[in-house]
Every structure is written in C-alpha cells, then in structure tokens.
Chain A
Amino acid sequence: MNNIFKFSIGILSALAFAWLAFVIGARKQFGDLEPTSSFLEDNGSIPEGAELFPKQLAGIAQQGAKEYISLGCTTCHTQQVRLEDSGFDVERGWGKRPSVARDYIFHEDITIGNTRVGPDLANIGLRSYSKEWLHQHLFEPQSLISESICPPSPFLYEEKDFDTNNAIKLTEDQIDKPRFIVPSLKANRIVSYLASLKQDYELPEMSFIQQDEELIETSELSTVSVSENSDSNLSELPTWLASQIASGKEIYMKAAPGGGLCFTCHQPTGLGLPGQFPPLAGSDWVLGDKERLIKISMHGLMGEIEVNGVKYNNVMAPPGIPPGSLTDQQIADVLTYIRNDWGNSASSVSPAEVANIRSKVKDRAPMQMWTSAELKSN
C-alpha cells in the first residue's frame, strides 16, 4: 500500500479481472456472431438457399441512425425487447420475441438504451404506423397523442399552408385551415431508420413468442362479436384512436340497431366479393379523399364505380339500421376503422369533419344515393 507502483499494480489488476471478463471473454463468446437462417439443420449448419438474418440496414436508414443518436433520442427510448422472465415487453406489443445479441451485429452504433420515458423502438417498423404518421409524430407528437411528452422537432420540417409535392397534411381538428409540412433530408432519414427497425424474423436461438391474443384474433374472423382488446396493435395506438377503431369495428360488424351492417357486403376481411362488392382493404377510395367517404356513409352509393381499376355495378344502401341513421360520431369511427384495418393505414376521421360535410349537403334528400361520377365531380 505504501509503494505507489505496487499499489497501482494492485488496483489496476483488480480492474483487469473485470476487463478480462467483459471485454476479452465477452468478445470471444459473442464478438463474431454472423447472420444465420431461422432454422438450422440437425448438424447445426445453415440450410442451403435459406434466407439469412439479420439483414443490413439500408443506407438511408444507417444515416438515420446517426441523426437519431445526434438528436439524443436514446435518452428516452430503448431498443431492446427483454426476455420473457424480465418483463412484459412482448405482451405490450413491443416485439414478437425478445431481442438477442445477433439482432444488432449490423448496427454501427448500439442504441439499446437504458431508460424508457418513451416506448421501446426495437420494433417500431413492425407496428402499423405509416411513414406519414411517423413524420407527423416527429413534427409534433401531441397532434397525434395528446398526452405525449415527447418534445416536438419542428426544425426538421418546413411548414406550409398549402399542399405541395411531398407535403404531409397534419391531422388536426379544424379542417377548414389545413397545415402541411415538408420533411427535410434529416427527417426522411430518421423516418426511414425508424421504419426499418423490426425484428420480424426468427433465429435459431430465439423464436417468436406465441401469444393468446393471436388465437383470439384468428377466431374472431368467424364470429360477429367483438371482444375488447382483441387487436394487439390497438394497444400501440393512442387511446383516442384505439377507441375510435374499436368502436368503428363494432359498428362495422353489428347487425342490430345502431350498427352499420357493413360486413355483410364488404366482408369481415374487408376484401368484398369479387365482381359484386368492392374491397375496402387497400382500396383507393377508402385511403383517399375523406369527404367522398363521409358522403357515401350518409347517403349510400349506386351505379358504376371503379375501385383499384376494377369496375363494380351495384347498390349500396345508406349504411346503418335503419338506413342512413349513423350519427357523426359513428360515421367517424367506422371510417377511421376501415382506414386502419386489413393493412390500411390512413389518417383518422373526426366527428367534426363529418358534421362539417353534413352541413354542406343538408339539402340533399336522406335516401338520395350518390353516384361515382357525382362524387368525382365535387
């Protein structure tokens, strides 16, 4: 203790033990992980022609990772789904399986983080957020999730009050004065990075966690009743949106007063019936202009209509039991639902928007159905 050299050697070798374990030992154990296939042959080799995981991030996503770090996003967001014993990350819908070391071998900087003031982002690309949604969230999180404490980043966008190329319309209550944002290069990089964050493959060391919710989801297609919380994606959405979608789904599937009876023609799968009823899933009409959708929901539709390039000719009575009886709130909910299920992802519809359109067409007779040509001319 009295000789400074012996003393230094003592305290530094105490440190060296830990160094041997955490640096040398750990590097030997998992420092040279390579991509591999989801399932291995019995002898431990990769099957021929199998797809290898994980994959390299795209170039723009790698640049996005740098922006993500430089803005300090790691301070509040982790990117790791913990093991089943350690937490309820999978149950929360933050991933299909716990993250493992191999998932990160292509990440240049590791951003697994250590604090979750915001949600985990390891699988943000798997959740049903559109790029448009992510941009809006970056610009002003509170416009989508009112309780969010994520700081807005308006400096990544250029604000416009008219629509231009690449502009994104902000979801807001007052539709008479819409605002648009044009993402900067940085913003596009970050969103590409976020959209690419997904651990949607299985690895030999970790397979997907089977969840009860999935069983409910598959069985629900055959039944008309809707159980609460059946859609695991819902818990990922902001509460107001999730509740709109849940109530919209109920209206869509309901064959009693107060319901919409939509599923009888468009089917619970949203695929419609070929040649008779047009699909809603991936439909250019559903994902397009809200005003036309609101009008159809109030008065119905008849005559020839072209959906995704396919012509249909049938009659859609005003939805609701009795026909045309849906309230503003119900129309908003059911439209928000059809715009956000079966792989659809588009902005929600608010009751205020419906009320606005209703007052515009208040002179129209209640059962006077629209035609495709009439809607397009407006």
Chain B
Amino acid sequence: MKFTAEQIIDKSAKWVISFFIASAGLWLLAAALLAYCAAAKLTDPFFLSTFEFFTYGKVKIAQANAFVYGWGGNSIFAVSIWIIARLAQAELRGRFLLIASGIIWNVGITLGLLGILDGHMNAHEMLEMPREIWPLLFISYSVIASFIIVTHRSRSKHETIAPQWFILASLLWFPALFIIAWNGLEINPARGTLQAVLSMWFGQSLIWLWLTPFALGVAYYLIPAITGRPIDKYYLAIFGFWCIALLAPWSVVHHLEGGPVPMWIPAIGTVMSIAMIFPIAVASTNFHATAFKDIDIVWNNLPLRFVIFGTLSYTISSYIGVVFSLPAVAKLTQFSIINEFHFNQRVYGFFSMIVFGAVYHMLPRVTGKDIPVGAKSFHFWTSALGVLMLLLAYLIGGLTHGVLAQQPSLDWASSVIASIRPYFLITQIAFVILGLSQLVFVINIWKVLFPNPFQFLNNSSNDSAKNAVA
C-alpha cells in the first residue's frame, strides 16, 4: 500500500495530535462547567456559597486559566504541530518527548487549578496558578515548542509563508513574555504598582501575542487551503505581521487609564491601540477578500464557516476594542464588565472558533474518519448563538454598567449593579448553550480519536478465550 507524502506526515503526527486534541477537549469542558458555575454565582450569590474552595473569585480565575492554558495551550500544540509539519513537508520529530511533555503540561495545569481552588492563588493576571507549578509548565512548553521548531527547520522549502510566521512567533512569544513577567514579579519583584503594570501587561499580551497570532496563522493557512485560492493582497501580510509584533506589546496597557501609575503608560497604550487598526485592517482584508470571492464555499464548508466566523469576530470586535481604548470612552467602560466582553470575544469568538474549524479540517486527514455532519452543524449553530448572546450581553451590559457607574448619585448595589443583573442572567443562559455545544464537540472528537476505547478489553478476553481453547 502506497501513501502520499501528506499521509506519511499525518501518520507521523497522529498520536501526538490525538493526545493534544483529546486533552484540549477535556479542558474545554472543564472550562465550560466552571464558566457556568461562575455565571450562576453572579445571578444567585447563594449558589454553592458554602464551600470555601468554590468562591466566585476562585471559580472565575480557574475558568480563565483552564480556558487559556488548558484548552488554548493544548489546541495550540495540536494545530501548530499539524500545520507546521504539513507546511514543512517533514515528518514530526520527537514524538515520545512531545507526549511526555504534554502529560507534564496537563498535570501541571490540573495541579495549578486545584491550587487556586485550595487557596494558593497568585495575585498576578493570568499567572494565578501557584508559583511552584510554573517551572513545570515552562519546561514542558519549551520542549514542545522546540520540537515544533525542529520540525520546521527540517522543511524541504526554504521560503516561509504567513501562517508559519504567525504560528512560530506565537510559540516564541509566550516563553519570552513569561520570562519577563516571572523575572519582574517573582525572581526580582518590582515594588508597588510597577507590579500591577507588569502583571496587566503579561495578562493582556498573552491574549495578544500568544492566542491571537496563532489563530491568525491558522486562518492564513486554512482559508487558501479550503477555498483553493491564494490570499488576496498577500503582500500586505508581512506588514500586518510586523505591525502586530511592534504595536501589540505597547497597546495592552491602556486599561490602566487614570490609575496609580505614571500617565505616560496608559497614554502610550491608547496611542498604540489606535494604531492597531492597521494590522486589523490587513488581516481582515486578506481573509475576507479571499474567502468572500466564493460565498458558497464559506457557507457550505463547515471548517471554513467556523474560521470565517472567527475572523469576522476578530475584525469587528477589534475595531470595537480600538473605540473603547479612546480615553473618553475608556473612562466609562474601563472597570465595567466590558472586560469580559474583550476576553470572551478574543478567546471564544475568535480563537476558539478558528480552532474548532482547524480541528474539523485536520481530524479526518489525521485519523481517516470524519464526524457526522449533523453534529458539526449543531456545534456550529449552538456555538455561534452562544457566543453572540454572550458577547452582546457583556457589550450592552458593560456599557450600561460603565455609564451608570459614572453617576455618583446612584447607589451602587441597588441601582448600578441591579441594572446589569439581567445581563448576568443572559450570560448564564449563554454558558448553558455553549456547554451543551462543547459537550457535543468533545464527545464527537473523542469518538473519532478513540473509536473503540474498550478494545483492549475485548482483545484480552479474546486472548483468554484462545488460551482456554488451547
């Protein structure tokens, strides 16, 4: 039996990718459950309130960490391994070490989340897991990223293209961000609000320099691969890439507007946030000009529909983000639940939707089996509905929250917060829909990855039967 080059590559990566996708799926479910609990606690403060390990703050933080590191990290590994190997036309290297490091990564996150619930939370944004866990995560991440880069370096073609830049950059930026933040917060800790600047910078940059470039890279790969057309105005992609590299690390600090830090920090953040319209415009031109040449394929091809949902969400909500970084608007919204809008649009509406598309695209190629169309379609529509509900509730609720909070005469609990409580209820419903949607997704990918999980039982019983006959 003869295999094509692609099939050999896919086969070489099959178990590694299966491992990472399967773990990503479990983390997605864990995050969905925690998200529901957090939302339920906001609508009914007495919900599970008697358990010390389950306070609202802990659940909320655990959810963000499970989502970003558990689901985000594992899916980044799975999808980048596949895309980098495919683009390099090279077999995956270091399969055993990759799976071993993957196990360490997942065990580390599990311990970290248990640590948060047990009361060992750190005060730094997106570094809330207990400090003992981080060396473990950092080492396992470095091993995984190194092997992806090794695979990339054994490529047959010297020239690189946009998806490779974005994915490799995101793989390299995360450890760099981590070292900077870890050094400034733990090893050689800064005093006073300098810590807050650094911790906010890390937390926001993680989204902008880890999740975002990765998802953009996947979109740069999948859109031409599925539509069969080259990226329209591809020459702009390199400009977009360097704009993100140069502007994004500066733009994230505008959230400190009016806070106890030197004024230049939020000011420079605002300027750079406005400049971010260039990379946003480039990415959206590249993606949408290419995909919308053929509306039918966007509509009919499910992975592409997911990806385009993600890129549209990226474009629209990034522009909204630019508007919200203007000082006049920022002072209304900066401490409101609009922060939830920013987090969820980026991690759910953009990153996750693109990852769903990528998983649906690569799973049949890697395993040779496909997921039923009905399940995929259900997943798309429920996810789209859930994400839209969630984002609209946080957007409108956030604006209401911010505007009312600026009226000093309104009582806090009975006027300001009471008026956004309906939006908390909507988010709770949205998290139920999303939870169901993700459950269908995870059950289906598990069925494809491990079609017969109890096979070894059958084998052993067959063996014993044979032995008995013998």
Contact with A along B176-190 (1 / 0, CB 8 A): 110010001000001
Residues of chain A within 8 A (CB-CB) of B46 are 151-152
If A15-B249, A22-B198, A151-B45 touch, does A110 touch B417 (CB 8 Å cutoff)? Answer: no
Contact A110 B45 (CB under 8 A): no
What residue of chain B has the Cβ atom nearest to residue A54's Cβ? B192
Contact A235 B197 (CB under 8 A): no
Q: How many residues of chain B have a CB within 8 Å of chain A? A: 89
What residue of chain A has the Cβ atom nearest to residue B58's Cβ? A72
Contact B418 A70 (CB under 8 A): no
Contact B209 A105 (CB under 8 A): no
Residues of chain A within 8 A (CB-CB) of B4 are none
Give A2 to B238 CA distance when docked, in angstroms.
12
If A114-B255, A115-B336 touch, does A103 touch B260 (CB 8 Å cutoff)? Answer: yes
If A2-B160, A83-B258, A112-B196 touch, does A92 touch B55 (CB 8 Å cutoff)? Answer: no
Q: How far is the CB of B357 from chain A (nearest CB, A)?
A: 25
From 140 to 180 in chain A, residues with beta carbon under 8 angstroms from any chain B beta carbon are 141-142, 145-156
Q: How many residues of chain A have a CB within 8 Å of chain B? A: 81
Contact A235 B191 (CB under 8 A): no
Q: How far is the CB of B197 from chain A (nearest CB, A)?
A: 6
The reply on A107 being an interface residue by CB < 8 A is yes
The reply on A111 being an interface residue by CB < 8 A is yes
Main secondary structure of the interface of B (DSSP, over half): helix
The reply on A26 being an interface residue by CB < 8 A is yes
The reply on B245 being an interface residue by CB < 8 A is yes
Residues of chain B within 8 A (CB-CB) of A156 are 52
Residues of chain A within 8 A (CB-CB) of B424 are 149
- Which of B59, B184, B195, B265 is the one whose CB lies under 8 Å from A110? B195
If A11-B169, A33-B191 touch, does A117 touch B337 (CB 8 Å cutoff)? Answer: yes
From 319 to 339 in chain B, residues with beta carbon under 8 angstroms from any chain A beta carbon are 327, 330-331, 334-337, 339
The reply on B173 being an interface residue by CB < 8 A is yes
What residue of chain A has the Cβ atom nearest to residue B169's Cβ? A11
How many pairs of residues, A versus B, come closer than 8 Å at their CB atoms? 232
Contact B177 A15 (CB under 8 A): yes
Q: How far is the CB of A184 from chain B (nearest CB, A)?
A: 10
Contact A141 B173 (CB under 8 A): no
Binds B, one of A94-102, A257-265, A333-341: A94-102
The reply on A342 being an interface residue by CB < 8 A is no
Q: How far is the CB of A145 from chain B (nearest CB, A)?
A: 5
Contact A69 B121 (CB under 8 A): yes
Residues of chain A within 8 A (CB-CB) of B411 are 235, 238-239, 242
Q: How far is the CB of A69 from chain B (nearest CB, A)?
A: 5
Q: How far is the CB of A329 from chain B (nearest CB, A)?
A: 20
Residues of chain A within 8 A (CB-CB) of B153 are 4
The reply on B228 being an interface residue by CB < 8 A is no
Give A91 to B192 CA distance when docked, in angstroms.
26
Contact A76 B260 (CB under 8 A): no
Contact A152 B406 (CB under 8 A): no
If A78-B335, A88-B408 touch, does A149 touch B42 (CB 8 Å cutoff)? Answer: yes
Residues of chain B within 8 A (CB-CB) of A365 are none
Q: How far is the CB of B383 from chain A (nearest CB, A)?
A: 25
The reply on A86 being an interface residue by CB < 8 A is yes
Contact with A along B33-69 (1 / 0, CB 8 A): 0000000011101110111100111111100000000
Contact A151 B55 (CB under 8 A): yes
Residues of chain A within 8 A (CB-CB) of B421 are 149
Contact with A along B127-160 (1 / 0, CB 8 A): 0000000000000000000000100110000111
Residues of chain A within 8 A (CB-CB) of B191 are 31-33, 105
Contact with B along A223-249 (1 / 0, CB 8 A): 000000100000100110010000000
Contact B158 A110 (CB under 8 A): no
From 303 to 338 in chain A, residues with beta carbon under 8 angstroms from any chain B beta carbon are none
Give A316 to B193 CA distance when docked, in angstroms.
56
The reply on A201 being an interface residue by CB < 8 A is no
Give A115 to B60 CA distance when docked, in angstroms.
13
Give A151 to B335 CA distance when docked, in angstroms.
19
Q: How far is the CB of B78 from chain A (nearest CB, A)?
A: 21
Residues of chain B within 8 A (CB-CB) of A229 are 409
Binding site for A on B (CB under 8 A): 41-43, 45-47, 49-52, 55-61, 119-123, 125, 149, 152-153, 158-160, 165, 168-169, 172-173, 176-177, 180, 184, 190-201, 209, 238, 242, 245-246, 249-250, 253, 255, 257-262, 265, 268, 327, 330-331, 334-337, 339-340, 405-409, 411-414, 417-418, 421, 424
Binding site for B on A (CB under 8 A): 1-2, 4, 7-8, 10-12, 14-15, 17-19, 21-23, 26-27, 29-33, 69-76, 78, 80, 82-83, 85-88, 91-93, 98-105, 107, 109-119, 141-142, 145-156, 229, 235, 238-239, 242
Q: Which 6 A-B pairs have the closest CB atoms?
A: A72-B57, A86-B258, A18-B249, A82-B258, A91-B408, A109-B123
